[in-house]
């Protein structure tokens, strides 16, 4: 499903991703952990092409971009539609209701009719458990509800892969569960997911694979049980001791 080869990203002088190689099979859930500044967000943003990698190839569901050459904006936007992004700070559109937030992609980007898009948006909002909030504006929703709208908005574009960047880290602890539940449901339905999170419970229960990133490299990867109970790299051990 996803294949990444030699992915590098620099900001001016600073090299943040130093050559990542990764294959992810369809339907797998991959959790990325790692210390602050290790490049996790940058990696996800490269997959969604919100950042243009400096070098490397990414292919998703048969479409490939080689970033060593110049890439046209058109290719970027069609490539972007293969992935759905869920942001740490939700980034909902504040001037639209929950329903309108979710309809926006289908109507404006996919040019679907309003009627069809509205049905679709209602369907995805129901999926994330927000059928009773369709006409609410973001400021009328709790953080957990806003994040679930964010997930529905991404799902409405019917991406091949869902990307989550610390989706629960801005939430009050009592709201984390409702978002994780939605994510677990998605995982169980066979959605391919790449999730940056420090929620170890989620990693243990839902991930097929855990990747530990540090200093712009993938240091270690493996099944959640292996990574959490028998990490091999010293840096992984250190990091796990710190967060547990």
Ligand X SMILES: Nc1ncnc2c1ncn2[C@@H]1O[C@H](COP(=O)(O)OP(=O)(O)OP(=O)(O)O)[C@@H](O)[C@H]1O
Out of 91, 119, 142, 204, the only residue in the binding site for other proteins (CB under 8 A) is 91
Relative to beta strand 14-24, strand 2-11 is antiparallel
**11 part of the interface to other proteins, by CB under 8 A:** no
Among 43, 67, 87, 124, binds other proteins (CB under 8 A): 87
Distance of alpha carbon 240 from alpha carbon 209, whole angstroms = 16
Q: Does 136 sit near other proteins (CB under 8 A)?
A: no
Instruction: Identify which of 193, 223, 239 has the alpha carbon closest to the alpha carbon of residue 85.
Output: 193
Closer to ligand X at the Cβ: 38 or 97? 38
Q: Least CB distance from residue 6 to other proteins, whole Å?
A: 24
Sign for the pseudo-dihedral over CA of 172, 128, 60, 200: positive
Judged by CB under 8 A, does residue 169 bind other proteins? no
232: helix, strand or coil: coil
User: Residue 138 contacts by C-beta under 8 Å, 6 or more apart in sequence?
Assistant: 90, 92, 93, 94, 98, 101, 146, 149
Does the footprint of other proteins cover residue 154 (CB under 8 A)? yes
3-state helix vs strand vs coil in the chain, percent to 5: 40, 25, 35
Nearer to ligand X, 50 or 122 (CB): 50
Report the residue from 4, 60, 92, 180 that binds other proteins according to the rule CB under 8 A: 92
CB of 16 or CB of 179, closer to ligand X: 16
Radius of gyration of the chain from Cα atoms?
18
- Please list every residue from 9 through 38 that binds ligand X, using CB under 6 A: 11, 14, 16, 34, 36-38
C-beta of 144: minimal distance to ligand X in Å?
20
Contact assessment for residue 8 and residue 19, using Cβ atoms and an 8 Å cutoff: yes
For other proteins, the binding residues (CB under 8 A) are 48, 50, 73, 77-78, 80-81, 84-85, 87, 89, 91-95, 104-105, 108-110, 137-139, 153-154, 156-157
């Amino acid at each position: 499903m996803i294949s990444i080869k030699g992915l590098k990203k620099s900001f001016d002088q600073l090299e943040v991703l130093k050559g990542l190689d990764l294959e992810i099979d369809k339907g797998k859930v991959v959790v990325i952990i790692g210390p602050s500044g290790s490049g996790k967000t940058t990696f996800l943003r490269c997959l969604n092409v919100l950042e243009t990698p400096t070098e490397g190839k990414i292919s998703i569901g048969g479409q490939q971009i080689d970033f060593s050459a110049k890439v046209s904006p058109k290719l970027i936007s069609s490539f972007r539609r293969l992935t759905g992004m869920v942001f740490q700070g939700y980034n909902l559109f504040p001037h639209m209701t929950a329903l309108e937030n979710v309809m926006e992609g289908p109507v404006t980007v996919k040019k679907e009719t309003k009627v069809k898009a509205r049905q679709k948006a209602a369907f995805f909002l129901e999926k994330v458990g927000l059928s009773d909030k369709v006409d609410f504006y973001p400021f009328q929703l709790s953080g957990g509800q806003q994040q679930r709208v964010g997930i529905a908005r991404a799902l409405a574009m019917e991406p091949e892969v869902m990307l989550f960047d610390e989706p629960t880290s801005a939430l009050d602890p009592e709201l984390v569960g409702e978002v994780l539940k939605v994510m677990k449901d998605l995982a169980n339905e066979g959605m391919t997911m790449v999730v940056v999170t420090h929620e170890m419970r989620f990693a243990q229960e839902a991930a097929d694979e855990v990747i530990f990133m540090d200093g712009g490299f993938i240091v270690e990867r493996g099944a959640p049980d292996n990574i959490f109970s028998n990490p091999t790299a010293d840096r992984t051990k250190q990091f796990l001791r710190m967060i547990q």
